[in-house]
Structure formats: C-alpha cells, structure tokens
Structure 1
Amino acid sequence: MQFPESWLREFCNPALSTAELAETLTMAGLEVEELQPVAPPFTKIVVGEIKEAQQHPNADRLRVCQVDVGQGALLNIVCGAPNARVGIKVPCALVGAELPPGDDGKPFLIKVGQLRGVESQGMLCSARELKLSEDHGGLLELPLDAPLGQDIRQYLQLDDTLFTLKLTPNLAHCLSVYGIAREVAALTGAPLKAPSFPAVPVGHADTLPVKISAPDLCGRFSGRIVRNVNTQAKTPQWMVDRLARCGQRSVAPLVDISNYVMFELGRPSHIFDLDKIHGSLDVRWGRAGEQLKLLNGNTVTVDEKVGVIADDREIESLAGIMGGDATAVSDDTKNIYIEAAFWWPKSIAGRSRRYNFSTDAGHRFERGVDPQLTVEHIERITQLVIDICGTPETVCGPMDDQIANVPQPQPVTLRVARAAKVIGMPLTQQQCVDALQRLGLPVTEGDGVVTVLPPSYRFDLVIEEDLIEEVARMVGYNQLPTTPPLAPITAKLPLESTRSPFAVRRELAGLGYQETINFSFVEERWEHELAGNPNPIKLLNPIASQMSVMRSSLLGSLLQVLKFNLDRKAERVRVFELGRVFLRDASVKSSDTTVEGFHQPMRVAGMAYGAADQLQWGRKEQGVDFFDVKGDVEALLAPVQATFEPGNHPAMHPGRCARVLVAGREIGHVGELHPRWRQAWDLPQAPVMFELELDAVLQRPVPQFRPVAKHQAVERDLAVVVAEKVTHAELMSAIESAVPAATLRGAVLFDVYRPKALRAGETAPAGGLAAGEKSLAVRLTLGSDTATLTEAEIESAVQAVVAQLTARTGARLRV
C-alpha cells in the first residue's frame, strides 16, 4: 500500500515528524517498508511563462525564449525542447539553481552561459531533468493558472513523502488512506476528519434492472445511472498526481475517479457504459465454457466457481476482479452506470490467480470490504463525475440498492485476565476499554470481561485473540516488558534406533556426494518419463510453465543438476538430495501435517557420473558402474543389511536395475539410467543412481555388546560350479542356513570365473565348465567362543555347506 503523506494528513494530522509517524505505524503492526521523497532535492526553480520564442540564429534546433518569472524583467533563455512555444508555463531554473544530482551524484549548477553565441540566463526544465518522471519528450507544461515566480516545489507539493506499507492480510481496513488515518487517530489521539457524502440531486427516474442470483457471491449491489457525461474531459492534475503517488497511472477521467475513491476510501467500484449493456444485469456464478474479454485484453474462460456480472446476452465482468472490454467506457460514452457491491471474500479469493494476474480490486475484496457504505461511496463517485465530467445536460438517476446477504457481526468477548496472560504484562480493564474505544469499537463492560460488537469494516475481529492483538497494538509493542520464559525445558532425545537426516547427509558427503536443493515442482515431462506417473499433481498457479506439477521422484531434479554441470565441462559429478515427493493417496486424511488425498514422504536420492575415483597415480581410471553405487547404498544403510533383487524402474536400464529390500520390504531402487533417457538428455555416458525411502534409511539397529573371540578362527576356501542363473544372494542364503551363526563368522565371495566361449570343433577340457555355468569361490571363516575348532568340526561344517549348496542351488565342487 503506497500513498503520499500529505493526503494522509488531510484526514489526520498528528504533531509528529515523518520519521516519528512511520515509527508509530510500524510499532502498531502497520509496517512502513519504505519512505521515499516525491522529488529529489533541487533549488531556485520557479514557474515561468514563455512570452516570446524565436529561432536561434546559429542553430536549427534551438529557440531563444523570453521568459517571465515574475521579476519584472524578462529572462533570455536558449531552449532546445520541441514544445517550447509562446503562452505555456513551465519550470524555469534561475541562475544559481541546483538541479537534481546526475549519475555521478553531484548536483548540476545553473550559470549564465553562451549557447552558439547567444547568452542564456537560466534553463527551462523537463520532468525528466527534475527527476519527476522518465518523460523527456519536452518541457513540463504547467496549468495556465500557475502563479508566476512561485517555487515549483511549493506549487507541485514536492516536499512530500511516499509511504509504502507492508500490510498483513488481516488489515484489510487499512487498504485506503482514510483507513490508515483512522489508525493514526487511534494511535496518536489526533482528531480524525470524517468524510461527508451529501446526496446529489436526482434528475430522472431511470434504473437498471439488477438481479442477485447468487447471494453467496454478492451480498449487496448498489448502482445508479448518470446520463450525458463528457468522457473526453481532462482529469484534474491534483488527481493525476495523487494517483501517481499511489503507484497508479492516469487512464481516463471515469477510470481515474473510480481508482481515486478506491485509494481514498478502500471501495473498489466499476463504471459501465450504459448503452453497451443489453437489457438487465444478473449477478451469478459463471457457467462452464463462458468466455469474457477483459479490460487488460486477455480472454478468459470461467466456470461454476467464478463469479460474474452478466447481461441478457453475455457476461460483462469478473465479479470483484476486473470489468469486461465490451462494456468499458470510452471517449464516445455518454451514459454510464456506476456500480459498488459487497462481494463475499471467500468467493473472490484465489480467482484472479487462476488467470495469472492480480488487481487492486481483487486484492481488497478477497480480504474484505465494508458492506455498509456502498451507497455513500457511490454518492462520492457521482459528485466527482459531475465535477470533472459534468455538462449542463448531466442528470443522475435514483440509487438502486439491493441487500441480499450481508455479514451479521457477532459479539466478541475479551477476558482481561486472559489478555494480561497472553500479552505478558499487567493490564487493567480500563486499559483494555480505552484501547478498544480509541479504535472506534463499541464496547460493553462486565466484571473482568469486555465485549465488542465489531463494526462492518473489521472482518478480522472474530475471536478473543483478535481483541487481545488490538489491545497490544494500542498499548504499544515497545511498551511490553522483557520477560524471560519460565517454562521447564527438557531435551527431547531421539531414539537410539534412529539417526537424524543430518547424519544421512554427512554419510553421503563422506562417500563423495554433494548435496543439492531443488524445487518440488518440476516439468510434467519428467513425471511421465522418469517417474512413470501419468497423472501427476498439477499446480493451479505455477511460477513457470516448466514447473507445472509436483514431483513424485527426486531423480528428475538430480538429472537436471547433472546436465547443468556437464554443460559446464564438469567431468565427474556425484550429487544427492533429501527431499519430499508428492503422491496421490486417497487413504490420507487432513491433519496439521497432512493434506487429504496426498501422501508426502521424504526420500533420499543420489546420482554418480564419470570416473569412480578422483584422478590418481595408484589406480587405473575407471568409470563408475552399478556396483560402485550399490556399495554406496550398502554403506549408507549400514549396519542394516540390505538385499538386492532384479527390478524395474521407469528411469533405469531394464537389465541394470535392482530393488533394494530391507527385512523383505522394498525401500527403493538402484540402477543405471535407461538408454532411452540417456539419449534424450544427450549424455556421453549413463549415470548410475539410487532413490530410497528416507524413513527406512534413518532406521538402524541398537548396537549390542559381544565379547571379542578368545580362540583363533580358521578359514576354508570353496570353489563350486553353479548355473549362471544362481545369484549371490541365493549362494549366501544357502551357506548361512548350513552352519549355526555361532560357528560361521563370515562368508565372502572373492572370485567369479566364467569359461571362454569355445570355437568350432573345440571341446571343453575334462572337469571344465559347461556352457551356462560359472565358478564361484567363497572364503568361509569358522570359529567358536568356547574352544578351538577341531579338524573334524571344521570338516563337518564345510561338508554341511557343500551339502546345502548342492541341495538348494545344484552346486558341485570344482575340481
């Protein structure tokens, strides 16, 4: 909310400086975000009138002007502006004047000078040279009634300050200059000048038929017809200046009047071209497929959740947001219909964001606008229309005011003891009453209780805490004592069977990965291709077209990071992310941490590309492969033992992808990028990646004490021949089932051998491996906690392992 200080002081003028006023507003919850002067510093610039303008004898683009600045003698000034002509009044910088500082920060001093042989005794100024605007098309032309010789700063009221307030959504009653003045009066005790709304004379009996078909959309609709207005009139300069200082560009007189009253009183309104309305108006919800061309040139399609104002032929306006182009006023408009309505905030909230734009009217209506003063504000608009656009033939019709469903204020009770406890300082009942009465709230007192019936413009006063906040604001936040908390503080220790997400990050960083943080909304194509999600969760208002859906996998984000780094000549990339994904799940109910119908679990994902190790002399360079990343996953999960089974994932290579299982439950996948996506992303080689459920990664068994074995363990190596289809997991499962855990200390696969393919006519050597077979060598570590194993016990254990391998995998000892 931006406004000039001078306009505020017309309604309430406390004995405070600009800085003190800003501090008062900020400490009352109306944060002053910025104070900015209307104009930069400059001196000795006055109103001048060009009396003569002759061509410069030595320059085609210069004129020699005789300028009257009210000093008796005319000043001889050379000017190159294209609009320098006799009879206009312009800003004139006298000799010795200082113009606003330039890019170097130094002020520009005006001296008597020679321009192409002609003396110039000053300078005629444009708006850009005074840094009042960026317009550099010519001299700044002033109204013809501007007094000669008057200082420009005084005439244009440039010694003013622009206030920019950062208002919270509950302060809708402060979205106007008068609303802020009402707060200033309550805070400072300065008198408030309330506006008056005298009724304009009624000259005809015509009304426009209006029907409110949706009382849950519109609670009150007021309007009147005004005939024979002059829409080609010029908006007064004082109104143009005030609108500009509120950040609003002047458009046309009728539009400017509507905007001016909105900033002045907080009442958005709309003015229709009456002759373009077909029949009557109907205030209703939209219908699917209806379209409307708006004033901003966009054509939108509405549905049953968007309110509209329609005539007998088509819709003419988005309710409470923006008018339509078909009934917009223009230079040819003669008859108008002025409308002011009360729209229920919930019926307006979020509607403009559907169409990727916002308006000042929608901003106010979705927070709440006073339903009680529609008639009075139309009277104010009508009077301005008559004053600015009126003609001798201008006549106003009667007010048509329809009340269908306006809010009924409910009393709110404040317990003084409760207020003192929440605010944290002693309070008396009289202090609470005084604070609320200063705000203009009707108060009823009881024994330790204060009851308020909120006025119509205070939509935010609903519960007791709302009144407590008002009391705290009026008492002053800077008056609150500094009181340390007295609550007992007990540390909340995590379970020993879990670890923190930070520990997971540290573990991955130790494995050589770097953390990335990415948006949760991604490109829809990623969801279709990399996540296999045909129905992703779409955003109603995405911040960019390529961020239109919520991600159900972290892999797309990591792949984008990889591509970004590769495009910048990175040769080795290892990245990971801990983040939330978003899945549809009808079983999820709404709570403080969940949204109905959506499951939002945390996951951890990583991606490795390039060499397995940093460049070094001790090892030959080798690219990262599936088993490198599988080892990283095992290290991340340790001491939990995971099993890996062949799996399928939309983003991964069909033959180089594994499911990760812990205690029989699938917690994620690890694998190489699918060749199709590698080609689509134009990657020189395939990265290897993993994605796991974070909850499963955070779990870890509680360490249990075991004494160090006192007796020496023994090792035995076995080489068995098995079919190619036998997996490592099947081999280890058979070994572990053959020998008790107290005896089998460990089993490690240390060699895999496959025979070379035989040429035509060659035969396999005796005792060799046949086609479709492989040799696996396993080292068994055997021991006992009670005694050294005998040779017979060792041999028994080995034979048990061989027997179990034969029975479960069809293995035979290799000879």
Structure 2
Amino acid sequence: MQFPESWLREFCNPPLSTQQLADTLTMAGLEVEELTPVAPPFTKVVVAEIKEAVQHPNADRLRICQVDIGSAGQGTLLNIVCGAPNARAGIKIPCALVGAELPPADDGDGKPFQIKLGKLRGVESQGMLCSARELKLSQDHGGLLELPADAPLGQDIREYLKLDDMLFTLKLTPNLAHCLSVYGVAREVAALTGAPLKTPVIAAVVPKIQDVQPVKVSAPDLCGRFSGRIVRNVNTKAATPQWMVDRLARCGQRSVTALVDISNYVMFEYGRPSHIFDLDKIHGAMDVRWGRPGEQLKLLNGNTVTVDGEVGVIADDQALESLAGIMGGDATAVSDDTKNVYVEAAFWWPKAIAGRSRRYNFATDAGHRFERGVDPELTVAHIERITQLIVEICGTPETVCGPIDDQQPRMPVAQPVRLRVARAAKVIGMPLTQAQCVDALKRLGLSLVEGEGVITVTPPLYRFDLQLEEDLIEEVARLIGYEHLPHTPPQAPVTPQQRPEAQRSPHAVRRLLAVLGYQETINYSFVEERWERELAGNSQPIKLLNPIASQMSVMRSSLLGSLLQVLKFNLDRKAPRVRVFELGRVFMRDASVQDSHVSVAGFDQPMRLAGLAAGPVDGLQWSGATRPVDFYDVKGEVEALLAPRQAVFEPAEHPALHPGRSARVLLKSARGLEPIGFVGELHPRWKQAYELSMTPVLFELALDAVQARDVPALRPMSKFQAVERDLAIIVAQDVTHAALMRAIQAAPTAGLLRDAVLFDIYRAKPGQMSAGLADNEKSLAVRLTFSDTEATLTDEQVDTAVQAVLASLQQQLSARLRA
C-alpha cells in the first residue's frame, strides 16, 4: 500500500521525523518497503503566467513567450523561447528561472540540469517553461504542465504543489487488513506513539427526496450488510479537484472521472471499496445473490466473465450488474451522460470473496480488501462521506439526495478471546506484567475485561485477525516493539546432526550431476492436472483448494512434467542442447502415513531426483560426427550417479516413456532387488503432443537410494596372476544381460570368480542354422576372471569353478556350451 506522509499526518502527527516514523511502523509489523520523495530536488521554479505567445521568426515549432513571474520579476516580463505545443497566452505554468537546477535528464550524465541565459535561433531566452516530465513529476511530455487559474504568481512550485513530501510503501501481511487505508495506518501510529488520532466528523447529508432503490439480499452468507442511496441531478462532467488528483496519484491511482475518483479516494482514505451505479441503467429491483451457472457479465475492464454458484453477483430484473466485492459491470457504469446515481457500500464476507478474482485472471483493489475483511459497521458513514464529496464536486443547484437504505441480514458477531499473561510471557520470551498487556491492548482500542492473570478481549468488528490467543500475543509484542524484545540465546544444547558415512549429501548429488554436464532447475510443486494424468498415470492427483493459477491446480507426483516444461522453454529459444535436472519433493496419497513433525497423515512426500537430456551427446566439435543422445548414454550416466553400487536395469513400461526404450532401475538391498526409478526415452505420443523438436531421454530416481553408498572396505590385493577363461554359450533370444550376470554370480566358485564381462553376441540369419543356432537362440561370449589372494590357482581349481558357472547357467537359463 502506498500513500503520502502528509495525508497520514493529517490524521495523526507524532513528533517523529520521517525516518523515525518509518522505523516505528516497520518494528510494529507494518514493514515500510520503500520510502521515496514525491519529487526529486530542484530549485528556483515558480508559478508563472504566459501573457503573450508569438511565432518565432526563425523556427516553425518555437514560440516567443512573455512570461509574468509576479513579484519575483519586479513587474518585468521575462522573454522565454518555448517549443511546447500548448504554450499560449493566459495559462499558468511552472517557470525555471536563470540559475535554476532541474532534475537530470533520463539520458544524461546524472548531473542536475542548470538553466542559463542563452539564445535560441537568435532570440534571447531568460528561463525555461517546464513540463511535468522535466520536473520528474510524471512521464507526461505532451506539453507544459498547466496549473489552476488561481495559482499565485511567483510562489515556489514545490510549496504550491506540496512536493516536499514522502511516499510510504507498506508491505502488509494478510492479517493487517485494517491498515489498508490511510486512516487505518494512522490509527496504528496513534497506538504506537501515543499521539492523538484525529477522527473527522462526517456530517450527515439531509435527504430532500424519499426515493429508495429496491434491494433484496438473497444470500446472507455472501453479503452481511448492504447500504445504498440515490443521488439525483449530478454533474458527471465536473473536473476532479487538483488536490484529489494529486493524492490519488501519490497512492498509485490515476484520475479517471470525478465520480470514480471520489469512490477511489474514500477507499484509500477509510479502506472501504464502494461502487457508484448509473441509476437510470438499473432495471427494476436489485438482488444480491450467488451467481447461476452460465450467467455472463461484461465488466468495467472490458472482460466478459461467466459466473457459477460460487461467485457472488448483484443483479437486477434483467441481467447481472456487478461482480460482488470485486468489480462493477459495464452496463451500469457512470458516464458523461449520467444524471442520477446510486451509491452502494456493503460488507461482503471475506470467504465469499477470497480467490474469486483469480478465477478470471485479474485482481482489484476492492477484492484485495474485501477478501481480508472490511469494517462492517461504517457502511452508512462512508456513504455519507461519498455523498458529501459528490455534492461538493459534482453538485448542481438541482442535486438532491435520498435517504440511506441500510439492510443488515447477517452482521458478524465479535467472539471474545482470552489472553493468559503467563502464556504471553512464555511465547514472547520476556517477563510481562498484566498491566503491560492491558496497556498495549487498550492503546489499540480493544474492549477488555481483566481477571486473575487472564484478560478477555472483545475485538472490534474491523479486526478480523483477532481470533486466537496467539493473535493477542502478537499484538502485545507489536506494541512493545520487536526491537525491544530481549536477545535470549537457546537454552537447550545445539548438537549438529552428523550425516552417516554411508549417505551422500544432496549437495554431493548435485555436484556429481553438474560434473556430468547437467544444470539444476527449480520448479513449482504445483503443476497442470494434464501432466499428472498423461506423464504420471495419476488420475486422482492432490488438488489445491485455491490455486494461484489455473495451470497450477494440483500437486505433482512426478518431476518429469516440470523438466519437459523447461525443455520446451529452451527449445522455443533455439537451445541446441539441453541437460537439466531437478531435486525436489513429490506428493502422493498414502493412507499408511501418520501425522508427525515432518509428515501429514494420508500423504507421502518423498524426495526425488530427475534428469533430462536432449540434443547431441557432445557439443559442437571437430573430431567426429555428432549424434543425438540415446537411452544408453543416459543409462550410463545413471550408472555413474549410483556408482559404486551397481544398478540392474530391466525392461518396463512407464506412462511417460517409450514402451520399447525404457527400463526400471533396481538396486540390491537386504530385501533383494528393489525398484528405485525409471530411465527411458520420451513416448512419441507426448513428444508430438508437447511439440518438441527433439526426443529427450529422462530418468527419475528416489533420492534416498541415490544418496546411499557403500562404505569403502579394505580388500587385499592379490599377489598372484589372475586366470581368464572365455565361454561361448547358447541361450534363448529373450535372455537378458542382467539374467546372464545373475546366473554367473550365483555359481558356487568358492570366491574365486572376480569378474565376468560379456564381449560378443552372435545370432543366426533368419531361416538358417548356423553353428548349431536355431532362430530363437543366440550365442553369448563371456570372459571370466579368476584369482586367489592366498596362492596361485591350479588348473583343477579353475576348471572346477568354470564347471560350476556352466552348471548355474544351465540350471537357470537352460544354456548349453557352444560347440
């Protein structure tokens, strides 16, 4: 929230400097995110009037102006050459005198711009007439900054426009909705500093007609209070006063029309959004209700939205007129032709407004305030304030007002909250007396009843955040000032947890992947529901109740979708080669999970590691032809990632992967081989669906399995020569390399077998018997390495071990020795 300091000090003016005031607010939880001057420094710029403007004899776009600067010119007119298109006699403008220093130009060297006596095309110029952009008051460079006709000649422009002011930008947390107005912040400042709070008295406007707009509140769970008033014969073409335009601009709001500006001004002043309808465009009675599926409404921003039963609306007898608490409709918007208006101020229940505007991909100041809570008690007072300004700015001799129609179908009821002084002292971490707590709460204007060590507080209706004992404890801490809380060191011993030697750190895993050429990405845990269905096979993902965007509506159970999105982003920007990985958490339903300090009942949240490779295996280089990355390249990188543990890969299917080019990754554990993830090429269907120009290869592994590693153990080196034997065996075509190695390792070789390597595969040509091979058979050549640490192996020992391997192969794979 942004506002000028001068406006705040009109309500509460503590004896503090600007910086001290900002520090006080920040230390009370109202963080002052930015503190900026209204205008940059400049000097010797005064209010002036152009008395005469004639064409420059030597330039088509220049005029020679005779400028009156009042008493500062001692009755002498200044001769100033000006090229602004609106330079004309009779207007008042800012004039920089000779010797003035103006803000540096945007494309300059950063030094102030000095005004000197000079000549332009042969004509002497004794100053400079300024635009708003040249004074850095706005970006408007369409001409000179025209001032009101009553601006006093010769007055310093900084004093006249009140430019010696500061803009406060507060970063408010959602529980501080009562501070979303200048008056609300002033109320906090009064509580924090003890300075008096000036609450303006809003005089009631006497109704002169009895006209009332019929209104029915059909949804009390949507609208707890609805107030309105008819005002007839207003002048909507009236200009907004400059003081109001300036204050709105300093709150970050541009001026639109007088009626819209009045509504916005009261919102910034007191925190209540309101709406002004064109009365003559309302058809019959108004109904405040929930929307009906299929109903449509064209909004003030030009968008047409379709509502449903969870969105509140204001309707008349023919159509929808407004999106409740968010934005008005175009059909009843005020215009230059409007003569009669209906002013509305309501209390909308926060839960009925929260998240509704995000459904339609926009946000409004009204929705921002109503979904956090707006004071339900002051709708009538604020209508009186709006009426007062309408009559003052847009009033005519014929302007008349009707009575205020105030309906209260369901007002909120304040619930008492108990504060235990001992509990507050324990949570805040400092000694507290009951008197200190009472003083803090009374300064906030809270009604309370004291007991023995207990204070019962009945919060005002505008404090929607005071519902628990912890809320009151926070208020006490805020009023004391966070900077005054003691610095207490931890009482319990802090013992660092040492990582087991058999476990890698996540950072070590990241470093290893970086060495392999991968770059880390960080993505949202909220993903598109389509990804879960297509890439994870998850038809019932965990849905978010209030997603931040329509394409981020569910929690991910796989990291693959996020990596494909990164790939798509890079390919769209012509990246030739992509290697990315992510280390993150996934979310799945699991009824066996119980509540704990690190888990939520019913939901499993394991950590996963996923990677993606696309494009050439190596970057552009001269030593050989490039080729695209394939399954075996990424399989090798997964093996390097898991080393020294040896993974087993077996064919398997995965919703995201190519059915013939993917595998399940398994690791040996105490319970046998356990699956830890998948590796494979992206399914062609998804490559086409996501419009990818190259086929990526992906892997996804359980992080705890990747972190696990075997602790190095001492093994003696053999002093004796190893013995190698080559075996050629015939097996069925469907025998895999993993099955072959399992059978060899299972052979009882008395610990002599050190290694086994497959070095040749031979298949017969279709329809031909070759070397005793049938069509459904193949020949595998394996080199076996034997050694002993105690003695040189004998032929008998080696032959016995080879026969044991052959027996194991025959028993498990029905293999036979090739002739």
- Do these two structures clear the TM 0.5 threshold for a shared fold by scoring above it? yes
Aligned 8 A contact 1:752 1:774 in 2: no
Aligned partners of 1:289 and 1:591: how far apart in 2?
44
**Does residue 370 in structure 1 map to residue 375 in structure 2?**
yes
- 2:89 maps to a residue whose letter is V
**Does residue 811 in structure 1 map to residue 793 in structure 2?**
no
1:732 matched to which residue of 2?
741
**1:523-602, aligned counterparts within 5 Å?**
552-558=557-563, 574-581=579-586, 600-602=605-607
- 2:203 maps to a residue whose letter is P
Report the CA distance between 1:710 and its aligned residue. 10
1:723 matched to which residue of 2?
732
**1:367-516, aligned counterparts within 5 Å?**
367-493=372-498, 498-509=503-514, 511=516, 513-516=518-521
Aligned 8 A contact 1:224 1:400 in 2: yes
Q: 1:618 to 1:756 in 2, by over 3 A?
A: farther
Report the CA distance between 1:699 and its aligned residue. 4.6
Aligned 8 A contact 1:538 1:548 in 2: yes
> What is the DSSP-based 3-state SS (H/G/I as helix, E as strand, rest coil) of the residue aligned with 1:451?
strand
Aligned partners of 1:684 and 1:414: how far apart in 2?
63
In the TM superposition, what whole-angstrom CA distance separates every residue of 1:329-361 from its partner, at most 9, and x where no partner exists?
111111111111111111111111111111111
- 1:778 maps to a residue whose letter is V
Q: Give unpaired runs (5+ residues) of structure 1.
A: none
Aligned 8 A contact 2:764 2:775 in 1: no
1:8 matched to which residue of 2?
8
1:754 matched to which residue of 2?
762
Aligned partners of 1:223 and 1:544: how far apart in 2?
35
- 2:452 maps to a residue whose letter is D
2:159 matched to which residue of 1?
154
Report the CA distance between 1:709 and its aligned residue. 8.7
Q: 1:99 to 1:499 in 2, by over 3 A?
A: closer
In the TM superposition, what whole-angstrom CA distance separates every residue of 1:102-146 from its partner, at most 9, and x where no partner exists?
232233333333344443333332222222222222222222222
Q: 1:37 to 1:730 in 2, by over 3 A?
A: closer
Aligned 8 A contact 1:612 1:622 in 2: yes
Deviates more, 1:408-417 or 1:309-318: 408-417
Q: 1:38 to 1:681 in 2, by over 3 A?
A: closer
Of 352, 358, 361 in structure 2, the residue corresponding to residue 356 of structure 1 is 361
Aligned 8 A contact 1:266 1:369 in 2: yes
Aligned 8 A contact 1:46 1:92 in 2: yes
> What is the DSSP-based 3-state SS (H/G/I as helix, E as strand, rest coil) of the residue aligned with 2:309?
coil
2:701 matched to which residue of 1?
692
Deviates more, 1:273-282 or 1:93-102: 93-102
Aligned partners of 1:239 and 1:757: how far apart in 2?
92
Aligned 8 A contact 1:43 1:99 in 2: yes
In the TM superposition, what whole-angstrom CA distance separates every residue of 1:207-230 from its partner, at most 9, and x where no partner exists?
112111111111111111111111
1:145 matched to which residue of 2?
150
Q: 1:643 to 1:238 in 2, by over 3 A?
A: same
Deviates more, 1:478-487 or 1:50-59: 50-59
- 1:351 maps to a residue whose letter is R
Aligned 8 A contact 1:732 1:747 in 2: no
Of 794, 797, 803 in structure 2, the residue corresponding to residue 799 of structure 1 is 803
Report the CA distance between 1:631 and its aligned residue. 3.8
Aligned partners of 1:355 and 1:364: how far apart in 2?
17
Q: 1:587 to 1:317 in 2, by over 3 A?
A: farther
Q: 1:325 to 1:737 in 2, by over 3 A?
A: same
Q: 1:202 to 1:595 in 2, by over 3 A?
A: farther
**1:143-222, aligned counterparts within 5 Å?**
143-222=148-227
Report the CA distance between 1:393 and its aligned residue. 1.4
Computed over aligned residues only, the root mean square deviation of the Cα atoms, in angstroms, reads 3.8
Deviates more, 1:564-573 or 1:445-454: 564-573
Aligned 8 A contact 2:760 2:782 in 1: no
Report the CA distance between 1:588 and its aligned residue. 7.9
- 1:633 maps to a residue whose letter is V
Report the CA distance between 1:587 and its aligned residue. 8.5
Aligned 8 A contact 1:47 1:152 in 2: yes
- 1:630 maps to a residue whose letter is K
Aligned 8 A contact 2:278 2:342 in 1: yes
Q: 1:510 to 1:98 in 2, by over 3 A?
A: closer
1:121 matched to which residue of 2?
126
Deviates more, 1:731-740 or 1:311-320: 731-740
Q: 1:87 to 1:29 in 2, by over 3 A?
A: same
1:110 matched to which residue of 2?
115
Aligned partners of 1:144 and 1:456: how far apart in 2?
46
Report the CA distance between 1:590 and its aligned residue. 9.0
Aligned 8 A contact 1:353 1:541 in 2: no
Q: Give unpaired runs (5+ residues) of structure 2.
A: none
1:49 matched to which residue of 2?
49
Aligned partners of 1:509 and 1:183: how far apart in 2?
52
2:303 matched to which residue of 1?
298
**Does residue 776 in structure 1 map to residue 780 in structure 2?**
yes
Deviates more, 1:543-552 or 1:647-656: 543-552
Aligned 8 A contact 1:356 1:541 in 2: no
> What is the DSSP-based 3-state SS (H/G/I as helix, E as strand, rest coil) of the residue aligned with 2:98?
strand
Aligned partners of 2:570 and 2:405: how far apart in 1?
66
- 2:81 maps to a residue whose letter is V
> What is the DSSP-based 3-state SS (H/G/I as helix, E as strand, rest coil) of the residue aligned with 2:133?
coil
Deviates more, 1:301-310 or 1:769-778: 769-778
Q: 1:143 to 1:736 in 2, by over 3 A?
A: closer
Deviates more, 1:199-208 or 1:549-558: 549-558
Q: 1:54 to 1:596 in 2, by over 3 A?
A: farther
1:99 matched to which residue of 2?
102
Report the CA distance between 1:592 and its aligned residue. 7.5
Report the CA distance between 1:585 and its aligned residue. 7.3
Q: Percent identity?
A: 75
- 1:209 maps to a residue whose letter is P
Q: 1:607 to 1:142 in 2, by over 3 A?
A: closer
Aligned partners of 1:571 and 1:243: how far apart in 2?
50
Q: 1:437 to 1:778 in 2, by over 3 A?
A: same
2:314 matched to which residue of 1?
309
Aligned partners of 1:798 and 1:620: how far apart in 2?
43
Report the CA distance between 1:287 and its aligned residue. 1.2
Aligned partners of 1:567 and 1:383: how far apart in 2?
57
Q: 1:784 to 1:339 in 2, by over 3 A?
A: same
Aligned partners of 1:793 and 1:553: how far apart in 2?
51
In the TM superposition, what whole-angstrom CA distance separates every residue of 1:643-663 from its partner, at most 9, and x where no partner exists?
322223355444332222343
> What is the DSSP-based 3-state SS (H/G/I as helix, E as strand, rest coil) of the residue aligned with 1:296?
coil
Aligned partners of 1:686 and 1:355: how far apart in 2?
36
Aligned 8 A contact 2:754 2:787 in 1: no
Aligned partners of 2:624 and 2:137: how far apart in 1?
70
2:244 matched to which residue of 1?
239
1:253 matched to which residue of 2?
258
- 1:78 maps to a residue whose letter is V
- 1:648 maps to a residue whose letter is E
Q: 1:484 to 1:705 in 2, by over 3 A?
A: same
Of 64, 77, 82 in structure 1, the residue corresponding to residue 80 of structure 2 is 77
- 1:88 maps to a residue whose letter is I
Report the CA distance between 1:279 and its aligned residue. 1.1
Aligned partners of 1:193 and 1:436: how far apart in 2?
20
Aligned partners of 1:411 and 1:685: how far apart in 2?
64
Report the CA distance between 1:159 and its aligned residue. 1.3
Aligned partners of 1:424 and 1:28: how far apart in 2?
17
